[in-house]
Protein backbone atom coordinates (compact mmCIF):
# COMPACT_ATOMS: atom_id res chain seq x y z
CA UNK A 1 0.00 0.00 0.00
CA UNK A 2 2.82 2.41 0.85
CA UNK A 3 4.43 1.78 -2.49
CA UNK A 4 1.15 2.60 -4.23
CA UNK A 5 0.76 5.82 -2.25
CA UNK A 6 4.32 6.79 -3.03
CA UNK A 7 3.87 6.07 -6.74
CA UNK A 8 0.80 8.27 -6.83
CA UNK A 9 2.64 11.02 -4.95
CA UNK A 10 5.50 11.01 -7.42
CA UNK A 11 2.98 11.25 -10.24
CA UNK A 12 1.32 14.20 -8.54
CA UNK A 13 4.56 15.98 -7.88
CA UNK A 14 6.09 15.47 -11.31
CA UNK A 15 3.06 16.02 -13.56
CA UNK A 16 1.54 19.36 -14.55
CA UNK A 17 -1.90 20.18 -15.85
CA UNK A 18 -3.84 21.86 -18.64
CA UNK A 19 -7.07 23.71 -19.30
CA UNK A 20 -9.28 25.16 -22.02
CA UNK A 21 -7.70 27.87 -24.16
CA UNK A 22 -9.00 31.41 -23.86
CA UNK A 23 -8.32 34.69 -25.63
CA UNK A 24 -6.70 37.74 -24.05
CA UNK A 25 -8.39 38.45 -20.72
CA UNK A 26 -8.44 41.02 -17.94
CA UNK A 27 -6.03 38.77 -16.02
CA UNK A 28 -3.36 39.02 -18.72
CA UNK A 29 -3.84 42.77 -19.14
CA UNK A 30 -3.53 43.28 -15.38
CA UNK A 31 -0.37 41.19 -15.06
CA UNK A 32 1.48 42.38 -18.16
CA UNK A 33 0.34 45.97 -18.65
CA UNK A 34 -1.29 47.82 -21.52
CA UNK A 35 -0.04 49.34 -24.77
CA UNK A 36 3.71 49.07 -25.26
CA UNK A 37 6.08 51.79 -26.42
CA UNK A 38 8.86 51.04 -28.93
CA UNK A 39 12.55 51.30 -28.11
CA UNK A 40 15.53 51.23 -30.46
CA UNK A 41 18.77 49.78 -29.08
CA UNK A 42 21.61 50.22 -31.59
CA UNK A 43 24.72 48.22 -30.73
CA UNK A 44 27.41 49.76 -28.55
CA UNK A 45 30.88 49.69 -30.13
CA UNK A 46 33.81 48.54 -28.06
CA UNK A 47 37.25 50.16 -28.09
CA UNK A 48 40.45 48.34 -27.16
CA UNK A 49 40.06 45.26 -24.98
CA UNK A 50 36.31 45.81 -24.62
CA UNK A 51 35.69 45.01 -28.30
CA UNK A 52 35.82 41.26 -27.62
CA UNK A 53 32.96 41.60 -25.11
CA UNK A 54 30.76 43.97 -27.14
CA UNK A 55 28.55 41.19 -28.50
CA UNK A 56 27.91 39.87 -24.97
CA UNK A 57 27.04 43.36 -23.74
CA UNK A 58 24.71 44.18 -26.63
CA UNK A 59 22.95 40.83 -26.59
CA UNK A 60 22.40 41.02 -22.83
CA UNK A 61 20.93 44.52 -22.93
CA UNK A 62 18.59 43.59 -25.77
CA UNK A 63 17.47 40.35 -24.12
CA UNK A 64 16.85 41.98 -20.73
CA UNK A 65 14.70 44.75 -22.18
CA UNK A 66 12.84 42.42 -24.53
CA UNK A 67 12.27 39.84 -21.78
CA UNK A 68 10.61 42.49 -19.60
CA UNK A 69 7.65 42.59 -21.97
CA UNK A 70 7.18 46.30 -21.22
CA UNK A 71 8.62 47.59 -24.51
CA UNK A 72 8.46 46.52 -28.13
CA UNK A 73 11.86 46.23 -29.77
CA UNK A 74 12.49 48.16 -32.97
CA UNK A 75 13.94 45.90 -35.68
CA UNK A 76 17.66 46.52 -36.13
CA UNK A 77 17.34 45.95 -39.88
CA UNK A 78 15.50 49.30 -40.08
CA UNK A 79 18.11 51.29 -38.16
CA UNK A 80 19.89 54.24 -39.81
CA UNK A 81 23.50 53.66 -40.83
CA UNK A 82 25.08 56.06 -38.34
CA UNK A 83 23.54 55.65 -34.89
CA UNK A 84 24.85 57.97 -32.15
CA UNK A 85 27.36 56.69 -29.63
CA UNK A 86 27.66 59.72 -27.37
CA UNK A 87 25.71 62.89 -26.69
CA UNK A 88 27.88 64.97 -28.97
CA UNK A 89 26.77 62.89 -31.94
CA UNK A 90 23.17 64.12 -31.70
CA UNK A 91 22.01 67.11 -33.70
CA UNK A 92 18.98 69.35 -33.46
CA UNK A 93 15.91 68.90 -35.61
CA UNK A 94 17.14 69.11 -39.26
CA UNK A 95 15.34 70.09 -42.41
CA UNK A 96 16.16 66.67 -43.81
CA UNK A 97 17.12 63.30 -42.34
CA UNK A 98 20.68 63.10 -41.04
CA UNK A 99 21.46 59.39 -41.25
CA UNK A 100 20.77 58.49 -37.65
CA UNK A 101 22.35 61.41 -35.80
CA UNK A 102 19.00 63.15 -35.26
CA UNK A 103 16.24 61.91 -32.96
CA UNK A 104 13.74 62.42 -35.80
CA UNK A 105 15.54 59.66 -37.73
CA UNK A 106 14.50 57.23 -35.01
CA UNK A 107 11.04 58.61 -34.31
CA UNK A 108 9.92 58.39 -37.94
CA UNK A 109 9.46 55.50 -40.34
CA UNK A 110 10.72 52.87 -40.71
CA UNK A 111 12.06 52.68 -37.11
CA UNK A 112 9.09 54.38 -35.40
CA UNK A 113 10.76 54.27 -31.99
CA UNK A 114 9.54 56.25 -28.99
CA UNK A 115 12.90 55.89 -27.23
CA UNK A 116 16.49 55.24 -28.18
CA UNK A 117 19.19 53.77 -25.96
CA UNK A 118 22.75 54.19 -27.19
CA UNK A 119 26.34 54.43 -26.00
CA UNK A 120 29.83 53.01 -26.31
CA UNK A 121 32.33 50.81 -24.47
CA UNK A 122 35.85 51.66 -23.35
CA UNK A 123 38.66 50.37 -21.17
CA UNK A 124 39.70 52.58 -18.28
CA UNK A 125 42.27 51.55 -15.70
CA UNK A 126 41.89 47.90 -16.63
CA UNK A 127 38.10 48.08 -16.14
CA UNK A 128 35.22 47.48 -18.52
CA UNK A 129 33.36 50.79 -18.84
CA UNK A 130 30.01 51.38 -20.56
CA UNK A 131 28.62 54.84 -21.26
CA UNK A 132 24.85 54.42 -21.56
CA UNK A 133 22.18 56.91 -22.63
CA UNK A 134 18.41 56.93 -23.00
CA UNK A 135 16.52 59.57 -25.02
CA UNK A 136 12.87 60.30 -25.79
CA UNK A 137 12.65 60.63 -29.58
CA UNK A 138 9.38 62.58 -29.44
CA UNK A 139 11.10 65.63 -27.93
CA UNK A 140 12.66 67.76 -30.69
CA UNK A 141 15.13 69.52 -28.40
CA UNK A 142 18.13 67.27 -27.74
CA UNK A 143 18.72 68.55 -24.22
CA UNK A 144 15.08 68.12 -23.28
CA UNK A 145 14.94 64.65 -24.81
CA UNK A 146 17.63 63.22 -22.54
CA UNK A 147 16.26 60.87 -19.89
CA UNK A 148 19.59 59.77 -18.43
CA UNK A 149 23.28 59.33 -19.06
CA UNK A 150 25.15 56.92 -16.80
CA UNK A 151 28.56 55.31 -16.46
CA UNK A 152 28.87 51.59 -15.67
CA UNK A 153 32.07 50.00 -14.37
CA UNK A 154 32.73 46.24 -14.21
CA UNK A 155 35.63 43.78 -14.44
CA UNK A 156 37.19 43.49 -17.89
CA UNK A 157 35.74 40.04 -18.52
CA UNK A 158 32.75 38.52 -20.26
CA UNK A 159 30.95 38.28 -16.91
CA UNK A 160 31.82 41.93 -16.31
CA UNK A 161 30.33 42.92 -19.66
CA UNK A 162 27.17 41.00 -18.75
CA UNK A 163 27.06 42.70 -15.34
CA UNK A 164 27.30 46.19 -16.86
CA UNK A 165 24.66 45.30 -19.44
CA UNK A 166 22.24 44.11 -16.73
CA UNK A 167 22.73 47.41 -14.88
CA UNK A 168 22.14 49.53 -17.98
CA UNK A 169 19.04 47.53 -18.94
CA UNK A 170 17.76 47.81 -15.36
CA UNK A 171 18.07 51.61 -15.52
CA UNK A 172 16.11 51.66 -18.78
CA UNK A 173 13.34 49.50 -17.34
CA UNK A 174 13.22 51.56 -14.16
CA UNK A 175 11.99 54.51 -16.24
CA UNK A 176 8.86 52.47 -16.98
CA UNK A 177 8.29 51.20 -13.47
CA UNK A 178 9.53 47.69 -14.19
CA UNK A 179 11.87 46.03 -11.68
CA UNK A 180 14.88 44.29 -13.15
CA UNK A 181 15.24 40.53 -12.72
CA UNK A 182 19.03 40.83 -12.69
CA UNK A 183 20.41 39.24 -9.53
CA UNK A 184 17.50 36.82 -9.14
CA UNK A 185 18.13 33.08 -9.20
CA UNK A 186 16.30 30.02 -10.50
CA UNK A 187 16.69 26.73 -8.61
CA UNK A 188 15.79 23.55 -10.46
CA UNK A 189 16.34 19.81 -10.81
CA UNK A 190 18.79 18.43 -13.38
CA UNK A 191 20.12 14.97 -14.17
CA UNK A 192 23.06 16.16 -16.29
CA UNK A 193 25.57 14.91 -13.69
CA UNK A 194 24.15 11.37 -13.81
CA UNK A 195 21.55 11.66 -11.04
CA UNK A 196 18.81 14.11 -10.19
CA UNK A 197 20.35 16.97 -8.20
CA UNK A 198 19.48 20.57 -7.33
CA UNK A 199 21.08 23.19 -9.55
CA UNK A 200 20.95 27.00 -9.66
CA UNK A 201 21.33 29.58 -12.44
CA UNK A 202 20.87 33.27 -13.07
CA UNK A 203 17.48 34.46 -14.32
CA UNK A 204 18.70 34.47 -17.94
CA UNK A 205 20.17 30.94 -17.84
CA UNK A 206 23.78 31.97 -17.26
CA UNK A 207 26.08 30.63 -14.50
CA UNK A 208 24.47 27.20 -14.15
CA UNK A 209 25.89 25.45 -11.07
CA UNK A 210 25.26 22.19 -9.24
CA UNK A 211 24.37 22.50 -5.54
CA UNK A 212 23.70 18.97 -4.26
CA UNK A 213 25.83 15.90 -4.88
CA UNK A 214 23.97 13.01 -3.28
CA UNK A 215 24.16 10.68 -6.28
CA UNK A 216 20.50 9.89 -5.68
CA UNK A 217 17.10 11.38 -6.54
CA UNK A 218 16.88 14.92 -5.18
CA UNK A 219 13.87 16.93 -6.27
CA UNK A 220 10.99 19.33 -5.49
CA UNK A 221 12.96 22.47 -4.48
CA UNK A 222 11.31 25.34 -2.61
CA UNK A 223 12.80 28.71 -1.70
CA UNK A 224 12.00 31.01 1.22
CA UNK A 225 10.66 34.49 0.45
CA UNK A 226 13.99 36.11 1.34
CA UNK A 227 15.93 33.61 -0.79
CA UNK A 228 18.10 32.48 2.11
CA UNK A 229 16.78 28.96 2.63
CA UNK A 230 16.22 26.20 0.13
CA UNK A 231 14.19 23.11 1.01
CA UNK A 232 13.89 20.00 -1.14
CA UNK A 233 13.04 16.30 -1.11
CA UNK A 234 15.77 13.68 -1.43
CA UNK A 235 16.03 9.89 -1.50
CA UNK A 236 19.64 10.07 -0.34
CA UNK A 237 18.77 8.24 2.89
CA UNK A 238 16.41 5.74 1.32
CA UNK A 239 12.87 6.96 1.93
CA UNK A 240 11.96 10.43 0.64
CA UNK A 241 12.88 13.01 3.26
CA UNK A 242 13.12 16.81 3.43
CA UNK A 243 16.46 18.59 3.66
CA UNK A 244 17.27 22.26 4.22
CA UNK A 245 20.11 24.27 2.66
CA UNK A 246 21.45 27.77 3.33
CA UNK A 247 21.99 29.73 0.12
CA UNK A 248 24.16 32.17 2.08
CA UNK A 249 26.65 29.72 3.57
CA UNK A 250 26.28 26.82 1.13
CA UNK A 251 25.77 24.45 4.07
CA UNK A 252 22.96 22.10 5.00
CA UNK A 253 20.72 23.06 7.92
CA UNK A 254 19.33 20.39 10.29
CA UNK A 255 15.71 19.44 9.66
CA UNK A 256 13.83 16.90 11.75
CA UNK A 257 11.69 14.67 9.52
CA UNK A 258 8.58 13.02 10.91
CA UNK A 259 8.74 9.25 11.33
CA UNK A 260 6.99 8.31 8.10
CA UNK A 261 7.55 6.49 4.84
CA UNK A 262 7.49 9.83 3.03
CA UNK A 263 8.03 13.53 3.77
CA UNK A 264 7.99 15.65 0.63
CA UNK A 265 6.83 18.74 -1.35
CA UNK A 266 8.06 21.36 1.18
CA UNK A 267 7.25 25.07 0.99
CA UNK A 268 7.73 28.06 3.31
CA UNK A 269 5.27 30.38 5.00
CA UNK A 270 5.56 34.00 3.79
CA UNK A 271 7.43 35.07 6.94
CA UNK A 272 9.96 32.26 6.41
CA UNK A 273 9.46 30.92 9.93
CA UNK A 274 7.61 27.66 9.18
CA UNK A 275 7.59 24.88 6.62
CA UNK A 276 4.58 23.15 5.08
CA UNK A 277 4.93 19.70 3.56
CA UNK A 278 3.18 16.43 2.82
CA UNK A 279 3.76 13.40 5.06
CA UNK A 280 2.42 9.86 5.34
CA UNK A 281 2.49 9.92 9.16
CA UNK A 282 -1.24 9.17 9.17
CA UNK A 283 -1.05 6.57 6.40
CA UNK A 284 -2.23 8.83 3.60
CA UNK A 285 -0.10 11.75 2.40
CA UNK A 286 -1.52 14.77 4.25
CA UNK A 287 -0.55 18.42 4.70
CA UNK A 288 1.54 19.31 7.79
CA UNK A 289 3.19 22.44 9.15
CA UNK A 290 6.33 22.55 11.32
CA UNK A 291 9.07 24.89 12.49
CA UNK A 292 12.10 25.62 10.32
CA UNK A 293 13.92 22.76 12.04
CA UNK A 294 11.00 20.37 11.51
CA UNK A 295 9.97 20.58 15.15
CA UNK A 296 6.39 20.65 16.47
CA UNK A 297 4.71 19.24 13.35
CA UNK A 298 0.95 19.74 13.13
CA UNK A 299 -1.48 18.15 10.72
CA UNK A 300 -3.60 20.58 8.68
CA UNK A 301 -5.57 18.46 6.19
CA UNK A 302 -7.77 15.52 7.10
CA UNK A 303 -8.94 13.23 4.33
CA UNK A 304 -8.41 9.69 3.10
CA UNK A 305 -6.70 10.90 -0.06
CA UNK A 306 -3.30 11.94 -1.34
CA UNK A 307 -2.71 15.65 -0.55
CA UNK A 308 0.52 17.38 -1.56
CA UNK A 309 2.12 20.65 -2.75
CA UNK A 310 0.87 23.12 -0.10
CA UNK A 311 1.53 26.79 -0.94
CA UNK A 312 0.60 29.60 1.46
CA UNK A 313 -0.85 32.84 0.10
CA UNK A 314 2.13 35.27 0.17
CA UNK A 315 -0.09 38.29 0.91
CA UNK A 316 -2.54 37.03 3.51
CA UNK A 317 -0.57 34.21 5.11
CA UNK A 318 -3.95 32.86 6.24
CA UNK A 319 -4.90 30.51 3.39
CA UNK A 320 -3.20 28.03 1.11
CA UNK A 321 -3.64 26.09 -2.09
CA UNK A 322 -2.72 22.43 -2.44
CA UNK A 323 -3.25 19.37 -4.64
CA UNK A 324 -5.67 16.66 -3.52
CA UNK A 325 -7.28 13.52 -4.88
CA UNK A 326 -10.16 13.69 -2.39
CA UNK A 327 -12.70 14.08 -5.20
CA UNK A 328 -11.18 11.59 -7.64
CA UNK A 329 -8.57 12.90 -10.08
CA UNK A 330 -6.05 15.30 -8.56
CA UNK A 331 -7.34 18.88 -8.41
CA UNK A 332 -6.30 22.17 -6.82
CA UNK A 333 -8.00 23.13 -3.58
CA UNK A 334 -7.82 26.06 -1.20
CA UNK A 335 -8.26 26.06 2.58
CA UNK A 336 -7.51 28.16 5.64
CA UNK A 337 -4.29 27.64 7.54
CA UNK A 338 -6.23 25.82 10.27
CA UNK A 339 -7.58 23.31 7.73
CA UNK A 340 -11.09 24.81 7.62
CA UNK A 341 -13.17 26.05 4.68
CA UNK A 342 -11.81 23.64 2.07
CA UNK A 343 -12.95 24.47 -1.46
CA UNK A 344 -11.98 23.15 -4.88
CA UNK A 345 -10.65 25.76 -7.32
CA UNK A 346 -10.37 23.72 -10.50
CA UNK A 347 -13.47 22.29 -12.15
CA UNK A 348 -12.79 18.60 -11.56
CA UNK A 349 -12.12 17.95 -15.24
CA UNK A 350 -8.79 16.38 -16.13
CA UNK A 351 -5.93 16.54 -13.62
CA UNK A 352 -4.49 19.69 -12.02
CA UNK A 353 -1.21 20.17 -10.20
CA UNK A 354 1.73 22.48 -9.33
CA UNK A 355 -0.11 25.54 -7.95
CA UNK A 356 1.99 28.67 -7.40
CA UNK A 357 0.79 31.98 -5.95
CA UNK A 358 1.42 35.26 -7.73
CA UNK A 359 3.26 37.69 -5.38
CA UNK A 360 0.06 39.76 -5.02
CA UNK A 361 -1.84 36.77 -3.65
CA UNK A 362 -4.78 37.00 -6.07
CA UNK A 363 -3.75 34.74 -8.92
CA UNK A 364 -2.21 31.29 -9.17
CA UNK A 365 -0.31 29.59 -11.95
CA UNK A 366 -0.76 25.85 -12.30
CA UNK A 367 -0.76 22.96 -14.75
CA UNK A 368 -3.85 21.13 -16.01
CA UNK A 369 -5.01 18.44 -18.46
CA UNK A 370 -8.54 19.73 -18.92
CA UNK A 371 -9.66 19.12 -22.49
CA UNK A 372 -6.63 17.01 -23.30
CA UNK A 373 -5.69 13.34 -23.21
CA UNK A 374 -4.12 12.23 -19.89
CA UNK A 375 -0.49 13.26 -19.67
CA UNK A 376 -0.78 16.31 -21.93
CA UNK A 377 -0.20 19.24 -19.60
CA UNK A 378 -0.29 22.99 -20.16
CA UNK A 379 0.33 26.06 -18.00
CA UNK A 380 -2.61 28.21 -16.88
CA UNK A 381 -3.24 31.16 -14.60
CA UNK A 382 -6.38 31.63 -12.51
CA UNK A 383 -7.99 34.46 -10.59
CA UNK A 384 -8.51 32.62 -7.30
CA UNK A 385 -11.57 34.72 -6.43
CA UNK A 386 -13.50 34.64 -9.72
CA UNK A 387 -12.05 31.31 -10.95
CA UNK A 388 -11.43 32.89 -14.37
CA UNK A 389 -8.80 30.76 -16.07
CA UNK A 390 -6.45 31.58 -18.95
CA UNK A 391 -4.31 29.07 -20.86
CA UNK A 392 -0.74 30.19 -21.60
CA UNK A 393 0.81 27.21 -23.43
CA UNK A 394 -0.82 25.46 -26.35
CA UNK A 395 0.07 22.14 -27.97
CA UNK A 396 3.82 22.37 -27.43
CA UNK A 397 4.60 19.22 -25.49
CA UNK A 398 4.27 18.69 -21.77
CA UNK A 399 4.40 21.96 -19.80
CA UNK A 400 4.52 21.87 -16.00
CA UNK A 401 5.78 23.29 -12.69
CA UNK A 402 5.14 27.00 -13.32
CA UNK A 403 6.34 29.45 -10.67
CA UNK A 404 6.34 33.25 -10.66
CA UNK A 405 9.29 35.57 -10.97
CA UNK A 406 9.73 38.19 -8.22
CA UNK A 407 8.45 40.86 -10.63
CA UNK A 408 5.09 39.09 -10.99
CA UNK A 409 5.25 39.53 -14.78
CA UNK A 410 7.15 36.38 -15.68
CA UNK A 411 6.86 32.65 -15.13
CA UNK A 412 9.44 29.90 -15.22
CA UNK A 413 8.34 26.39 -16.16
CA UNK A 414 9.57 23.11 -17.59
CA UNK A 415 8.60 21.70 -20.98
CA UNK A 416 9.64 18.90 -23.31
CA UNK A 417 8.78 20.94 -26.41
CA UNK A 418 12.46 21.01 -27.42
CA UNK A 419 13.11 17.33 -26.68
CA UNK A 420 13.62 16.10 -23.15
CA UNK A 421 12.58 18.32 -20.26
CA UNK A 422 14.07 21.83 -20.25
CA UNK A 423 13.55 25.08 -18.35
CA UNK A 424 11.81 28.04 -20.02
CA UNK A 425 10.60 31.47 -19.01
CA UNK A 426 7.72 33.49 -20.44
CA UNK A 427 5.60 36.54 -19.79
CA UNK A 428 2.31 36.07 -17.99
CA UNK A 429 0.52 36.31 -21.34
CA UNK A 430 2.43 33.34 -22.75
CA UNK A 431 4.73 35.42 -24.98
CA UNK A 432 8.50 36.02 -24.90
CA UNK A 433 9.27 32.34 -24.31
CA UNK A 434 12.99 31.82 -23.63
CA UNK A 435 14.77 28.47 -23.23
CA UNK A 436 17.34 28.54 -20.42
CA UNK A 437 18.73 24.98 -20.25
CA UNK A 438 19.92 22.54 -22.89
CA UNK A 439 21.99 19.85 -21.14
CA UNK A 440 20.36 16.76 -19.65
CA UNK A 441 16.77 16.83 -18.40
CA UNK A 442 15.77 19.80 -16.26
CA UNK A 443 12.56 20.38 -14.33
CA UNK A 444 10.77 21.79 -11.24
CA UNK A 445 12.13 25.37 -11.37
CA UNK A 446 11.51 27.93 -8.62
CA UNK A 447 12.41 31.62 -8.92
CA UNK A 448 14.08 33.41 -6.00
CA UNK A 449 14.91 37.04 -5.25
Do 127 and 14 have their domain in common?
no
Q: Using 50, 70 and 90 to split pLDDT, how confident is the model at 344?
A: very high
Q: Using 50, 70 and 90 to split pLDDT, how confident is the model at 438?
A: very high
| Pairwise pLDDT comparison (227 vs 30), residue with the higher score | 227
Do 349 and 284 have their domain in common?
yes
| pLDDT above 70: residue 235 | yes
Do 298 and 238 have their domain in common?
yes
Q: Using 50, 70 and 90 to split pLDDT, how confident is the model at 11?
A: very low
Q: Using 50, 70 and 90 to split pLDDT, how confident is the model at 14?
A: very low
Provide the percentage of residues in the chain whose pLDDT is more than 90. 86
| Pairwise pLDDT comparison (31 vs 265), residue with the higher score | 265
Do 197 and 60 have their domain in common?
no
Of 149, 174, 199, the last residue of a domain is 174
pLDDT on residue 99? 86
The CATH number linked to 111 is: 3.40.50.10070
pLDDT on residue 253? 96
Query: Which whole number is the average pLDDT over 240-251?
Result: 96
Check if the beta carbon of residue 310 is closer than 8 Å to that of residue 265: yes
| pLDDT above 90: residue 262 | yes
Q: Structural domain of residue 115, as residue ranges?
A: 34-69+71-174
pLDDT on residue 427? 95
pLDDT on residue 399? 96
| pLDDT above 60: residue 9 | no
pLDDT in tens, 63-77: 999 999 899 999 999
Do 24 and 149 have their domain in common?
no
pLDDT in tens, 274-314: 999 999 999 999 999 999 999 999 999 999 999 999 999 99
Provide the percentage of residues in the chain whose pLDDT is more than 70. 90
Query: Which whole number is the average pLDDT over 10-36?
Result: 47
| pLDDT above 50: residue 324 | yes
Average per-residue pLDDT in the chain? 91
The CATH number linked to 274 is: 2.120.10.30
| Pairwise pLDDT comparison (259 vs 31), residue with the higher score | 259
Q: Please, which residues have CB within 8 angstroms of residue 130's CB and are 6 or more apart in sequence? A: 44, 57, 119, 120, 121, 151, 152, 154, 164, 165, 168
Do 9 and 44 have their domain in common?
no
Do 246 and 276 have their domain in common?
yes
pLDDT in tens, 350-387: 999 999 999 999 999 999 998 766 668 999 999 999 99
Do 274 and 391 have their domain in common?
yes
| pLDDT above 80: residue 32 | no
What's the N-to-C CA distance of the chain in angstroms?
Answer: 40
In Å, the largest CA–CA distance within the chain is 83
Do 211 and 78 have their domain in common?
no
| pLDDT above 80: residue 8 | no
Query: Which whole number is the average pLDDT over 33-38?
Result: 77
Do 120 and 191 have their domain in common?
no
pLDDT in tens, 130-160: 999 999 999 988 999 999 999 999 999 999 9
Do 96 and 203 have their domain in common?
no
Total domains present in the chain: 2
Of 113, 146, 174, the last residue of a domain is 174
Of 123, 158, 174, the last residue of a domain is 174
Query: Which whole number is the average pLDDT over 402-424?
Result: 96
Do 427 and 350 have their domain in common?
yes
Check if the beta carbon of residue 100 is closer than 8 Å to that of residue 107: no
pLDDT in tens, 166-196: 999 999 999 999 889 999 999 999 999 999 9
Query: Which whole number is the average pLDDT over 46-58?
Result: 97
Amino acid sequence: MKKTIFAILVSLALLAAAAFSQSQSDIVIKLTGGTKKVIALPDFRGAGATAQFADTFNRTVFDDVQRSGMLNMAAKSFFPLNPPQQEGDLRGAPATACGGRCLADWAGAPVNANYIGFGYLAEQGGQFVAFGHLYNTAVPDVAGAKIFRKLYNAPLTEDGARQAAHQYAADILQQFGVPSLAGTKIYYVSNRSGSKEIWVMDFDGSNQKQLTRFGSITTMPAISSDGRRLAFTTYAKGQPQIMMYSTETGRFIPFRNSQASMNATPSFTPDGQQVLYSSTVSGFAQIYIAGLDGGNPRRLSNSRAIEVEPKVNPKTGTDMVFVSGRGGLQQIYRMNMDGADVERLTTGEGEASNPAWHPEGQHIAFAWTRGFAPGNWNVFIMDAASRETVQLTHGQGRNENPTWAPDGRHLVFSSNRAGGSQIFTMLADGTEVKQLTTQGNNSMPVWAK
